Amino acid sequence: MHINGVEIEDTFAEAFGMWGSRLIVTGDDLGWARTAAEAATGFATSIIGCGCEAGTNDLASGEQTPDGRPGVAALVFTTSRKNMEAALLQRVGQAVMTCATSACYNGLAADEKVRIGGKLRYFGDGFQRSKLLDGRRLWRVPVMDGEFVVEESFGVARAVGGGNFFMMARSLSAALAAARAAVAAMRAVPGAIMPFPGGVVRSGSKISSRYKGQNVSSNTPYCPTLRGQEDSSLKEGENAVLEIVVDGLSEAAVAEAMRVGIAAACLPGVTRISAGNYGGSLGQFHFALRDLVST
């Protein structure tokens, strides 16, 4: 199968179960809302070393913020409900509450919840006040520019992490162009994020190492500089590889993000689209590339 002359390899991306949460971060203007959301999702590229994976989304079409101000969605993914509570407490407390004009609300309807505003309220030193807004329990915490409004609890639900695809190209410039186009298309998909810097991974990993105690290492079969020194998965003329990793609040969100991303990445200079998997042993979610693009 080919799209615009780019081979779509007959393989699948292997993803795994995670827990996801969605925050609505607002500010006096969109710039401040985005600043708070981006700060809260910083240093959250990989569960391997960051404790969570996170990124921002624009609000869904027609979605209104609870306070009527400009807002941005922030999505956070962890391996357990307990880890989610710790991650949100740190990120909302250290990055959203500290940002000028910000407020933070639950953006995910879910049966499971973690208590965030109900704990951060103690920063108010006894002067915090609660209020109900359309059934939401909010806390008003005094800060130096007025009040920080934060919701009592945030929804958490089962989610999907680790969707991915590789772009093999004749040159780095061609790989970068494909990656930029793919990420731009994927950012329009609600409920999905690409957690790595700029949405792109250059240091893909494998779950093995020749060093004791090192559980992951560089994905050497896809490193063009190691061709001839290592069993290579690259074909003749493939001189650069970039990867995009996708997390989503649902299997459908990951599938749609991968579908539009792969289609957008099929640009001149790209030779092949592939994906990372472990033969089905790592995760229960399998995204067959050819099935995705044929829809």
CA-based nearest residue to 21, from 89, 103, 69: 89
Report the pLDDT value the prediction gives residue 133, as an integer from 0 to 100. Answer: 87
Enumerate residue ranges in the chain where pLDDT < 50: none
Q: Is 31 helix (H, G, I), strand (E, B) or coil?
A: helix
| pTM (two decimals) | 0.93
CB 115 within 8 A of CB 33: no
Fold of 2-14+159-294: Alpha-Beta Plaits (3.30.70)
Cβ atoms < 10 Å from Cβ of 240: 21
Instruction: For residue range 127-185, list pLDDT tens digits in order.
Output: 999 999 888 999 999 999 999 999 999 999 999 999 999 999 999 999 999 999 999 99
| Cα 248 from Cα 160, distance rounded (Å) | 5
| Cα 89 from Cα 40, distance rounded (Å) | 10
How would DSSP label each residue in 196-249?
SGGG-BSS-EES--SSTT---EE-GGG-GGGBTTB---PPTT--EEEEEEEEES
Q: Which CATH number applies to 19-157?
A: 3.30.70.520
CB 11 within 8 A of CB 280: no
Report the pLDDT value the prediction gives residue 134, as an integer from 0 to 100. Answer: 87
| Cα 54 from Cα 119, distance rounded (Å) | 22
Domain ranges across the chain: 2-14+159-294, 19-157
CB 263 within 8 A of CB 293: yes
CB 227 within 8 A of CB 234: yes
Structure tokens at 182: 């793919």
Q: What are the counts of helices (DSSP H) followed by strands (DSSP E) for the chain?
A: 7, 17
Arithmetic mean of pLDDT over the chain: 95
| Cα 186 from Cα 174, distance rounded (Å) | 18
Per-state percent for the chain, helix, strand, coil, to nearest 5:
30, 35, 35
Please enumerate in sequence order all residues whose Cβ is within 8 A of that of 281, keeping only pairs 6 or more positions apart, or say none: none
2-14+159-294 and 19-157 in the same fold: yes
Q: Measured at the alpha carbon of residue 183, what is the angle toward residues 182 and 187, in degrees to the nearest 5? A: 120
